[in-house]
C-alpha cells in the first residue's frame, strides 16, 4: 500500500488535507496560484511583444507545461535530455536543450529528432561546432543550433563582444550543414539581486548583450532568427525587449522563498508547499519535530544569503497561512525541527502529534525534484488530482 | 532512448567509463570500496559483541542491503515506509521504521505487517502510545515498539533521565497489548565532531544514555530486550558497548567528504562518485563547466562548516584519483563550475569538451537520492551492472 500514488487519488477524487489517507511528506501544488503566476508572466511578455518559451526544468510535468506554454506544441526549454524525451513524446515539439552539448549526447539528440521532435541544442565553442559537423554528416540531419552568449559572467557562453568567436562558430556550423537558429542568453546573476531598479538594469544588460551578439552574426551575413533571453527576475522586470524575440523563465510558475527575497513573487503567491505531519516535541527547547527533513525540502539554503534567512522554509497552517515567525530551523534526512525565529515574541502554536502543516520551500526547483508527483489543490485546499513529474537524466 | 536504464546495461554488460554509451551525469558505485567499508564495520562491531543493524536510508537498494546486512532477512533500519515496503517485499523481515510514528501512518504499518514483515516503530511520547493502543485493538496486532531516547539533545527522544515518562510510556504500551521491544538512540551531534577523542566520548555518552534508559525500564519491571544505538561516527569509534545489544549505521557504507572531515572514512575509501562530462570553459576565469550541477550532486554544502570546504565536491579523473586542488566551486541546476581552490598553485588540467570526470560528493545520502540507480564499478573501473534504488515516501 503506497498511498501517495496517482491510483490512490483516482479512488478518492477529492481528498481533504486533513484526511488520514494522505501520506506525508508530500508535495502540494495550488493550481489557482500556478495559473495566476503564469497569466501574469504571459500578459507581461505579450505587452513586450515577445514569444514566451517556458523553462520546464522546475515543473518537469506535462500537466504544468500545458498551463505554462502558449500552445500544446511549445515552444519550451528543457534542462535534460530525459525532459526532451518526456515532453517531446507528450506532444511538445519545439524544444531547446539548454545545457552545452557534448559529443556523446548527440546520438540521443538524433534519436529524439527522429521521432519528429524539433529539439535544438546550444553550444559556445568551436570544438563543439566541430562535433556538430560530424553529427550532420553522420545523421544527415541539419541540426538546429543556438550559440550560447554570456549575459553577465554567470557561467557559460561566448562573450557578446567576442565577434571573431561568434562569427567563427556561426560560419563553421553553416558550412557543415547545421542550422544556425539564433542566440540564447541567461542573466543568472540577477538571482543575487533584491530590488527592482537593479533587476530592471540586469534585464536591459541581458537585452543589450543579446542584441549585440545577434547584430554581429547578421552583419557577418549569418542568420539569427531567434534572440532568446531569460531568467525569472529579468523576465518579470524587463521594461523594453527591442531586438529580443523570445523570453524564457521557469521557477516563476511556482515561486519560492528565494524568489520572494529577490522580489519576483509575494509569499502568498507561492504555489508550492510540502505537507508534513508533526511527529514529536522537545518542549523545553521550543521545538516541534515534523516528518519533513531535508529529503522532503531539499538541502537548498539559498535564503541564508538573503536579507531574511528562512531556514529550510516557512511553516503554514493547512490553508497555507504562515504561522507568526515559525520556520523550519534545522533538518535531518527525515526530521525537520520547527521553531520560532530567533528573538521572536510570538508563541509556539499548539500542534499535537499527527497535526499537519504546510512548508513554503526555499527553492521550488530543488524541492519539487525530491518528489515524483504533485498533489493538486483546488481553491478549497482540497486535492482534486495528482500530476506525475519526472526526474533524472 | 533513455540510456541510463538497467536494460541498457544488460545489452552492454561491461561498459568502460570512457564509453560514449554512458550518459552523464550518472552515479558510480565502487563495489570493492563498498564491500571494504562494510567489512571494516562488521569486524569492528563483532569485536564489540553487538548485532549490526545497517541503516538502509543511504543506499535504498536491495543489492547494497544484501552486502551490508548480516543475513538476507535483516536486521535493518529504514527511514520511510516506502523503504519498509520495498525492503520487506525483497525479503528483509526484521525492520525498524526510524522516524517517530504518527497516527495516520499506522494503517500503512498494519498493511506491511500483514505481509509477514516484522516492522517495528518508534515513539517518544504518551500521546503516540495512545495511538498505538487504538492500533492494537483495531488491527488485533501486538505491534513491536521502541521508545526513542535522546542521546545528546540532537533532535527527538525522551530524556534518558526522565524515568517517569519512560516508565509511563512503557506501561501504557504494555497494558494496551503492544510489545515493548526496547530503546533506540542516535548520537546525531557526533556529526559535528572531527577528532577521534571527541567521537569516542560521544559514543560512550550514547552508550550511557542507552543503558540508563534500559535500566530504568527493567527496574520498573518492564521488558527491554533490545538496546539500539547508532551513528556512523560513534559506531566507527566506539570502544566499549557493554549493555548495548545492537548498533546502527548507514552512510559509512559509501562514505563521503563530510564523513572524511569527521574522520570516519579516508577520501580514497569513498565508494560513491558522480560521473560528469565537460561541457565548456571560461578560460579567462579558470573555469571548467561540467554537466553535474546541484541536481546531480544535491544542494548539500555540509563541508562549508568543516575545516576544509570542499565546495560541491572534489573532482577526480576516471580512475577516481583527485586532481590537485580541483573542486566543484559552484553549481546551478545542471551546470557545475570546476576550478582550483582559492590560493592554489596547481595548474588546471586540460579537459576538453566531452572529457569525463568523477566527483566525490559532500553527502552520500543526499547525492544518491538524486538518482534512480547505481552504476556498479568493478576493480578495473568498468561498469559491470546497474543496481536500481528507490526514493520517495
Give this prediction's pTM.
0.96
Cβ-based contacts of A279 with chain B (< 8 Å): 99-102, 156
Is B366 in contact with A294 (Cβ distance < 8 A)? yes
Is A295 in contact with B369 (Cβ distance < 8 A)? yes
Architecture field, domain B48-252:
Alpha-Beta Barrel (3.20)
Is B366 in contact with A155 (Cβ distance < 8 A)? no
Cβ-based contacts of A295 with chain B (< 8 Å): 79, 366, 369
Q: What is the largest CA-CA distance in chain A?
A: 73
Average pLDDT rounded to a whole number, residues A69-80: 98
- Is the pLDDT at A343 greater than 60? The verdict is yes
- Is the pLDDT at A6 greater than 90? The verdict is no
Is A156 in contact with B79 (Cβ distance < 8 A)? no
Cβ-based contacts of B80 with chain A (< 8 Å): 334
pLDDT band at A13 (very low <50, low <70, confident <90, very high): low
Helix (H, G, I), strand (E, B) or coil at A305: helix
Q: How many beta carbons lie within 10 A of that of residue A49, not counting itself?
A: 10
Task: Give per-residue pLDDT as tens, A83-116.
Answer: 999 999 999 999 999 999 999 999 999 999 999 9
Cβ-based contacts of B105 with chain A (< 8 Å): 23, 277
Whether residue B75 is preceded by a cis peptide bond, meaning omega within 30 degrees of 0, is yes
Helix (H, G, I), strand (E, B) or coil at A302: helix
- Is the pLDDT at A55 greater than 50? The verdict is yes
CB B60 within 8 Å of CB B83: yes
* Residue B282 phi, psi dihedral angles, 5° rounding: -125, 85
Fold of A6-29+271-388: Lyase, Ornithine Decarboxylase; Chain A, domain 1 (2.40.37)
Residue A341 grid coordinates: 525565529
pLDDT given for residue A1 in this prediction: 37
Q: How many CA within 13 A on the CB side of residue B156?
A: 29
* Residue A78 phi, psi dihedral angles, 5° rounding: -130, 160
DSSP letters for A155-169: SSSB-TT-HHHHHHH
pLDDT band at A31 (very low <50, low <70, confident <90, very high): very high
Enumerate the CATH 3.20.20.10 domain ranges in chain B, comma separated: 48-252
For the purposes of burial, counting CB atoms within 10 Å of the CB of B142, is it exposed (0-12), middle (13-18) or buried (19 or more)? middle
- Is the pLDDT at A3 greater than 90? The verdict is no
- Angle of helix B126-139 versus helix B106-114 axis, rounded to 10: 40
Distance CA A119, CA A124 (A): 17
- Determine the residue of chain A that is closest to B331 in CA distance: A155
Helix (H, G, I), strand (E, B) or coil at A90: coil
Nearest to B289 among A105, A155, A289 (CB): A155
pLDDT given for residue B2 in this prediction: 42
Task: Give per-residue pLDDT as tens, A273-318.
Answer: 999 999 999 999 999 999 999 999 999 999 999 999 999 999 999 9
Nearest to B353 among A128, A285, A296 (CB): A128
Whether residue B25 is preceded by a cis peptide bond, meaning omega within 30 degrees of 0, is yes
Residue entry with cell 513554503: A360
Is B57 in contact with A333 (Cβ distance < 8 A)? yes
Helix or strand run (H / E) with residue A141: none
Average pLDDT rounded to a whole number, residues A6-35: 80
Enumerate the CATH 3.20.20.10 domain ranges in chain A, comma separated: 48-250
Q: Whole-angstrom distance between the N-terminal and C-terminal Cα of chain B?
A: 28
For the purposes of burial, counting CB atoms within 10 Å of the CB of A225, is it exposed (0-12), middle (13-18) or buried (19 or more)? exposed
Is A353 in contact with B299 (Cβ distance < 8 A)? no
Q: Whole-angstrom distance between the N-terminal and C-terminal Cα of chain A?
A: 28
Nearest to B298 among A20, A299, A335 (CB): A299
- Angle of helix A106-114 versus helix A81-89 axis, rounded to 10: 0
Nearest to A25 among B294, B301, B393 (CB): B393
CA angle A59/A374/B104 to nearest 5° reads 150
Q: Looking at the complex, report in whole angstroms how far the Cα of residue A268 sits from the nearest Cα belonging to chain B.
A: 25
For chain B, the three-class secondary structure string (H helix, E strand, C coil) is CCCCCHHHHHHCCCEECCCCCCCCCEEEEEHHHHHHHHHHHHHHHHHCCCEEEEECCCCCCHHHHHHHCCCCCCCEEECCHHHHHHHHHCCCCEEEECCCCCHHHHHHHHHHHHCCCEEEEEECCHHHHHHHHHHHHHHCCCCEEEEEECCCCCCCCECCCCHHHHHHHHHHHHHCCCEEEEEECCCHHHHHCCCHHHHHHHHHHHHHHHHHHHHHHHHCCCCCCEEEEECHHHHHHCCCCCCCCEEEECHHHCCCHHHHHHCCCCHHHCCEEEEEEEEEEEHHHCEEEECCCHHHHCCCCHHHHCCCCCCCCEEECCCCCEEEEEEEEEECCCCEEEEECCCCCCCCCCCCCCCEEEEECCCHHHHHCCCCEEEEECCCCEEEEEEECCCCC
Average pLDDT rounded to a whole number, residues A133-150: 97
Is B392 in contact with A372 (Cβ distance < 8 A)? yes
Enumerate the CATH 2.40.37.20 domain ranges in chain A, comma separated: 6-29+271-388
Task: Give per-residue pLDDT as tens, B86-135.
Answer: 999 999 999 999 999 999 999 999 999 999 999 999 999 999 999 999 99
Picking from B1, B82, B162 by the largest number of A CB atoms within 10 A of its own CB, the best residue to mutate is B1
Is B334 in contact with A289 (Cβ distance < 8 A)? no
Q: Looking at the complex, report in whole angstroms how far the Cα of residue A102 sits from the nearest Cα belonging to chain B.
A: 5
Cβ-based contacts of A4 with chain B (< 8 Å): 392-393
Picking from B333, B355, B372 by the largest number of A CB atoms within 10 A of its own CB, the best residue to mutate is B333
Burial of B42-54, coded b for 16+ CB within 10 Å and e otherwise, reads: eebbeeeebbbbb
Is B103 in contact with A282 (Cβ distance < 8 A)? no
Distance CA A331, CA A346 (A): 22
Nearest to A178 by CA among A109, A116, A230, A247: A109
Distance CA B295, CA B277 (A): 14
Cβ-based contacts of B369 with chain A (< 8 Å): 295, 370
Helix (H, G, I), strand (E, B) or coil at A74: coil
Is CATH 3.20.20.10 the right assignment for the domain spanning A48-250? Answer: yes
- Determine the residue of chain A that is closest to B281 in CA distance: A156
Average pLDDT rounded to a whole number, residues A341-357: 96
Helix (H, G, I), strand (E, B) or coil at A139: helix
- ipTM (interface pTM): 0.96
* Residue B193 phi, psi dihedral angles, 5° rounding: -90, 165
Nearest to B296 by CA among B345, B360, B213, B386: B360
pLDDT given for residue A9 in this prediction: 55
Nearest to B24 by CA among B244, B387, B319, B318: B318
pLDDT given for residue A93 in this prediction: 98
Is A298 in contact with B295 (Cβ distance < 8 A)? no
Residues in chain A: 393
pLDDT in tens, chain B (393 residues): 344 455 555 555 677 887 777 899 999 999 999 999 999 999 999 999 999 999 999 999 999 999 999 999 999 999 999 999 999 999 999 999 999 999 999 999 999 999 999 999 999 999 999 999 999 999 999 999 999 999 999 999 999 999 999 999 999 999 999 999 999 999 999 999 999 999 999 999 999 999 999 999 999 999 999 999 999 999 999 999 999 999 999 999 999 999 999 999 999 999 999 999 999 999 999 999 999 999 999 999 999 999 999 999 999 999 999 999 999 999 999 999 999 999 999 999 999 999 999 999 999 999 999 999 999 999 999 999 999 999 999
What does the mean pLDDT of chain A come to? 95
DSSP letters for A227-282: EEEE-HHHHHH-S--TT--EEEE-GGGT--HHHHHHTSS-GGG--EEEEEEEEEEE
Q: How many CA within 13 A on the CB side of residue B284?
A: 7
Distance CA A274, CA B24 (A): 30
Amino acid at each position: 500500500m503506497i498511498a501517495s500514488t496517482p491510483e490512490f487519488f483516482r479512488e478518492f477524487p477529492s481528498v481533504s488535507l486533513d484526511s488520514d489517507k494522505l501520506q506525508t511528506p508530500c508535495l502540494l501544488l495550488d493550481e489557482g496560484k500556478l495559473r495566476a503566476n503564469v497569466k501574469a508572466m504571459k500578459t507581461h511578455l505579450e505587452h513586450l511583444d515577445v514569444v514566451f518559451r517556458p523553462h520546464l526544468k522546475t515543473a518537469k510535468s506535462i500537466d504544468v507545461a500545458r498551463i505554462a506554454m502558449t500552445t500544446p506544441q511549445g515552444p519550451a526549454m528543457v534542462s535534460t535530455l530525459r525532459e526532451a524525451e518526456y515532453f517531446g513524446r507528450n506532444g511538445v515539439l519545439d524544444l531547446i536543450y539548454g545545457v552545452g552539448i557534448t559529443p556523446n549526447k548527440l546520438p540521443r539528440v538524433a534519436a529524439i529528432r527522429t521521432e519528429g521532435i524539433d529539439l535544438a541544442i546550444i553550444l559556445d565553442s568551436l570544438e563543439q561546432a566541430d562535433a556538430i559537423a560530424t553529427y550532420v554528416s553522420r545523421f544527415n540531419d541539419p541540426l538546429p543550433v543556438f550559440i550560447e552568449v554570456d549575459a553577465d559572467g554567470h557561467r557559460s557562453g561566448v562573450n557578446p563582444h567576442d565577434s571573431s568567436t561568434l562569427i567563427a562558430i556561426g560560419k563553421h556550423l553553416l558550412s557543415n550543414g547545421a542550422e544556425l537558429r539564433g542566440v540564447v542568453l541567461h542573466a543568472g546573476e540577477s538571482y543575487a539581486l533584491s530590488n527592482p531598479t537593479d533587476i530592471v538594469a540586469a534585464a536591459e544588460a541581458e537585452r543589450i548583450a543579446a542584441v549585440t551578439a545577434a547584430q554581429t552574426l547578421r552583419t557577418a551575413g549569418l542568420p539569427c532568427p531567434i534572440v532568446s533571453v531569460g531568467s525569472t527576475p529579468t523576465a518579470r522586470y524587463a521594461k523594453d525587449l527591442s531586438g529580443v524575440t523570445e523570453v524564457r523563465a521557469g521557477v516563476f510558475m511556482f515561486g519560492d522563498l528565494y524568489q520572494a527575497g529577490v522580489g519576483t513573487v509575494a509569499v502568498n503567491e507561492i504555489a508550492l508547499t510540502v505537507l508534513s505531519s508533526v511527529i514529536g516535541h522537545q518542549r523545553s527547547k521550543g521545538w516541534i519535530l515534523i516528518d519533513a527533513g531535508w529529503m522532503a525540502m531539499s538541502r537548498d539554503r539559498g535564503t541564508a544569503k538573503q536579507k531574511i534567512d528562512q531556514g529550510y522554509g516557512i511553516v503554514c497552517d493547512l490553508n497555507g497561512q504562515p504561522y507568526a515567525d515559525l520556520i523550519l530551523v534545522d533538518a535531518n534526512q527525515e526530521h525537520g525541527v520547527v521553531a520560532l525565529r530567533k528573538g521572536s515574541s510570538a508563541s509556539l502554536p499548539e500542534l499535537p502529534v499527527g497535526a499537519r502543516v504546510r512548508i513554503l520551500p526555499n527553492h521550488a526547483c530543488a524541492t519539487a525534484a525530491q518528489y515524483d508527483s504533485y498533489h493538486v489543490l483546488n481553491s478549497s485546499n482540497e486535492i482534486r488530482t495528482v500530476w506525475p513529474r519526472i526526474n533524472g537524466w
